[in-house]
Amino acid sequence: MLGTQIKDVILKPDAPSSLLLDKHADYIAAYGSKKDDYEYTLSEYLRMSGIYWGLTVMDLMGQLDRMNLQEIIDFIKACQHDCGGFSASIGHDPHLLYTLSAVQILCLYDSLHAIDVDKVVEYVKGLQQEDGSFAGDKWGEIDTRFSFCAVATLALLGKMEMINVDRAVEFVLSCMNFDGGFGCRPGSESHAGQIYCCTGFLSLTGQLHQLNADLLGWWLCERQLPSGGLNGRPEKLPDVCYSWWVLASLKIIGRIHWIDKSRLRQFILACQDEETGGFADRPGDMVDPFHTLFGVAGLSLLGEEQVKAVNPVLCMPEDVLQRIGLQPDLLS
Amino acid sequence: MHGRVKVKTTAQQEEEKRKEREKKLKIYVAARDACFSKRKEGVCDDEALQLTQQLLSSNPDFATLWNYRREILMHLETVKDPDEMQKIYEAELSFLEACLKVNPKSYGSWHHRGWVSARLPRPDWARELSLCDRCLSLDDRNFHCWDYRRMVVKVSGVPVDQELEFSDRLIGSNFSNYSSWHYRSTLLPVLHPQTRQEPPHASSPRGPQSHRVCEEQLLKEYELVQNAFFTDPNDQSAWFYYRWLLGRAEREETISCVYVSREDERVAVAFSRPINARCVGLLLVLDGQPLRVEWRSVHPRFRHSPVLICDLPPGTINDVTNEHNLTVHWTGNHTHRDCALYTGRVESWCRDTATDQELFRSELSVEKTSVLQSELQSVKQLQELEPLNKWCLLTIILLMRALDPLGYEKETLAHFQTLKEVDSMRSEYYSDLCCKFMIENTILKMEYAEVRVFSITDRNLTSLCHLDQLLLVTHINLSSNRLQRLPPQFAMLQCLEVLEADNNFLENLEGVYHLPRLQEVSLKNNKISTLTDLQPLASCPELKRLDLRGNPVTQAASVESDLAELLPSVTDLLL
Ligand SMILES: [Zn+2]
């Protein structure tokens, strides 16, 4: 018989084992200041999300005041288009992905009044298709990620009733698979990122009872590898961002205790860069703000007391959602 | 950014790299700005195509540039003839192929390819299919490519059996290919659907899990999967697929129980799945007359509940000398259930029992016992070779439950113990699953004995489930377990009179909520520490006896008077 080699990483004994909060805050604070950097410029197409990742992790670490509020609000306003949607950056086209990020940032700053909210709602509404799905923008790409972006944006704006929620739910449920998970479109393979979007979607629309939570929870807890890290699909390497998506999904369906929390914590901590600050996808790789947010947010869900409590559905600090009065459902 | 290893560099290397990046940045910014200004001016020329091509080759995630290209191509459609367009679009496909070679996981490239293919005057779907073949031969898990393939298959009408053969080939060359097994799970129910007993009104659309496969094909699949897990018993893909194959059809949507209480003038209805009291079309007919009532969930914490209750207008059924006939219609599902309340009776019910429905034959199918028996033999054979293989152990448990849940109870528990040891990371999953099975067995035993007493003590229970099945239970004993809470679902025990839950870790009693019959509650030696924890009990009007000995709350100074105020109906309080 053949033995499968489990794809995994080995944590080095000298890997970081405590949370280096100050370094991470310095890393994020400095990240936006190197605007002439080649790599930074290359990632302009997702800038709005980049800002959301950076600000959210700063807020979770209690360091939001180190960021330049006015500059960010001005930037967001400049990114809203006539159609109501937001682009990742100036000169780019509007998209649901960046519309959600922009609204999330404005909620962190309690500044929704700075933009035309009704037009945002019109934009989101206009992207819903006959079958209930959402296109990411006017070019028609369909994905359950966009269903999540749409309802998350509207939930934050308190305007969920503006779309056809029943149809939207019907479409997301049509993407449910044999393993209880979800993919991008009907028939697509289950993937932790999409599962996060779809469980989050069902939470925001009050439809979590439609899940097969025991079956899905089993698939999700099987993502944990001997290193303690979680992968996003069977036979893939562990990754800090997938750790968040799987963990948040488990939290939403009330089954976070099905994984070994202390081993996961060890893995996430080992992905920190002691020199530069920040988290990488795996130990020894280059850090970035994306994995830094999901590293810190993951630790928060695992009960880390040095950072604020994070909401598993919207990946935002709980105190921000309390201020808005939004409490997405979780299964118990 | 994924999989970029951090490399240590010297100061000199660093400086060289910096210079190189500076140069690249200049070129990049110049090209980007040129694109943006051309687009602003509405220019749709060859140079714009070249500039966007140059940028997208190195950065295919720059979505706006794909949009610009589409605008240019759409403009060209208005000025060129179809032959010219065919050539232009073919060139676009070649460019995309180059992009996908460099970055096979770019959402933007795949979406653009789909867009171009759909606009091509003379589409060549065979070419697209072979592109997918090549791409999947390099990475058989690339979900972008799989999704693209599904689109091509759908648009060009590739027969399903041909696709099933394709997945045969992939699995044949590598069993450990979750994507292919997944693909099969979507193809089989289309190609070999189960023919029997699908209700005509097969309700809301769900995933393929509700679409089952016919028995003949199932047997072939069992063989294929067994080949896979005998070849590599640690390959999870085949085991996940196997659990799905063994899965039972979804239960028909029915009203499983109607209960009516003369004294409380209340009706409780249990359904086969959670439903929303406000949205569902329920009609109550009493003695031939439709009655206007307000249905509600048993607990405000959940809107969707498998048990709904309603109060009848006062005086409708309280005269014990009258006989009444009650029907609950679930109009959306064209089902109903009758219940007769005879003269002299204070309550009545009508229901399917768990034993009737074989509810708890795990989630496993209602296949012939002989088939399941032979599957069990095969997996047991494998287990002899691989005694600590967790997939094997779990599958044996599931098969045993499908065959004879009570008969195999002891073996099942032993296997769970081993599972928790060999796969300790997921021990809590196994604990919860084990709890679920023990609760199911207890329900079965209760129903065989035809009693309304549910007792499961000293079994390390950590969670409760199937509480909707306990609607008729009058006595429950959960003592000596490891429960921390009685969840909101506990409020579904609408007939409960006596609750015993001594020697647990209870601190949350949320679910002891508006239980109209509850009289005695014993909670000795738990973790109840504040009066607030006991607040839910105040909603139970008949509560007479409460035993709180051995709880932290009894240490509070004025506990006795506080409790007298909180729970005035209690006459027998033990502290
Ligand atoms: Zn990642």
| Residue in B1, B185, B230 closest to A288 by CB | B1
Range A21-324: architecture per CATH: Alpha/alpha barrel (1.50)
Report DSSP letters for B49-95, one per residue: HHHHHHHHHH-TT-HHHHHHHHHHHHHHHHHS-HHHHHHHHHHHHHH
Structural domain spans, chain B: 18-123, 216-248+359-433, 255-351, 451-573
pLDDT band of B355, cuts 50, 70, 90: low
pLDDT band of B251, cuts 50, 70, 90: low
Phi-psi region of B525 (alpha: psi -120 to 50; beta: other; left: phi over 0): left
Instruction: Name the stretches of chain A with pLDDT < 70.
Output: 1-5
Give residue A1's pLDDT. 40
Q: Which residue of B has its CA nearest to A332?
A: B487
- Flag if B25 and A41 touch (Cβ within 8 Å): yes
Q: A243-257, B38-52, B246-260: which range is least confident on average?
A: B246-260
Determine the angle formed by the axes of helices A213-221 and A192-204, rounding to 10 degrees: 150
Q: Which option is the CATH number for B18-123: 1.25.40, 1.10.520, 1.10.150, 1.10.3470?
A: 1.25.40
CA distance B63 to B106: 10
Residue B27 has pLDDT above 50, yes or no: yes
DSSP letter for B313, please.
P
In angstroms and rounded to an integer, the radius of gyration of the C-alpha atoms of chain A is 19
Residue B206 has pLDDT above 80, yes or no: no
Q: Can you name the residues that pair with A317 across neighbouring β-strands?
A: A310
Residue B7 has pLDDT above 90, yes or no: no
| Residue in A183, A209, A284 closest to B6 by CB | A284
CA distance B301 to B457: 28
Percent of chain B with pLDDT over 70: 94
Give residue A332's pLDDT. 82
Residue list, CB under 5 A from ion ligand 1: A 239, 241, 281
For the sheet with B255-261, list strands across it. Answer: B296-297, B304-311, B266-276, B255-261, B347-351
Q: A2-16, B127-141, B490-504: which range is least confident on average?
A: A2-16
Q: Cβ-count burial of B281 within 10 angstroms (0-12 exposed, 13-18 middle, 19+ buried)?
A: exposed
Q: A131-145, B84-98, B369-383, B465-479: which range is least confident on average?
A: B369-383
Percent of chain B with pLDDT over 90: 79
Instruction: Average the pLDDT over B3-9 and give the result.
Output: 82
Residue B100 has pLDDT above 80, yes or no: yes
Residue B208 has pLDDT above 50, yes or no: no
The residues near B499 (Cβ < 8 Å, ≥ 6 apart) are B476, B512, B518, B520, B521, B522
Instruction: Average the pLDDT over B4-26 and give the result.
Output: 86
pLDDT tens profile B274-305:
988 887 789 999 999 999 999 999 998 888 89
Measure A69 CA to nearest chain B CA, in Å.
26
Q: Can you name the residues that pair with B349 across neighbouring β-strands?
A: B259
Task: Identify the CATH class of B451-573.
Answer: alpha beta
- Which residue would you say has higher pLDDT here, A55 or B215? A55
Instruction: Average the pLDDT over B245-270 and give the result.
Output: 87
pLDDT band of B5, cuts 50, 70, 90: confident
CA of A291 to the centre of ligand 1 (A): 6
Residue B201 has pLDDT above 80, yes or no: no
Reduced to 3 states (helix: H, G, I; strand: E, B; else coil), residue A279 is: strand
Structural domain spans, chain A: 21-324
Residue B38 has pLDDT above 90, yes or no: yes
- Residues in chain A within 8 Å Cβ distance of B19: none
Whole-angstrom CA distances from B370 to A39, B164, B358 are 63, 28, 17
Give residue B254's pLDDT. 87
Query: CB-side exposure of B564: number of CA atoms within 13 Å?
Result: 4
User: Are residues A312 and A251 in contact, defined by beta-carbon separation less than 8 angstroms?
Assistant: yes
| Superfamily, domain B255-351 | Rab geranylgeranyltransferase alpha-subunit, insert domain (2.60.40.1130)
Give residue A5's pLDDT. 66
Instruction: Average the pLDDT over B78-92 and give the result.
Output: 96
Residue B361 has pLDDT above 80, yes or no: no
Give residue B8's pLDDT. 79
Q: A69-73, A120-124, B21-25, B178-182: which range is least confident on average?
A: B21-25
CA distance B170 to B26: 46
Please give the mean pLDDT across all residues of chain B.
91
Q: Chain A 222-261, CB below 8 Å of chain B: which residues?
A: 222, 224, 226, 233-236, 239, 255, 257-260
pLDDT band of B3, cuts 50, 70, 90: confident
pLDDT tens profile B395-431:
999 999 888 889 999 999 999 999 999 999 999 999 9
Give residue B10's pLDDT. 83
ipTM of the complex: 0.96
CA distance B259 to B270: 9
Measure B114 CA to nearest chain A CA, in Å.
10
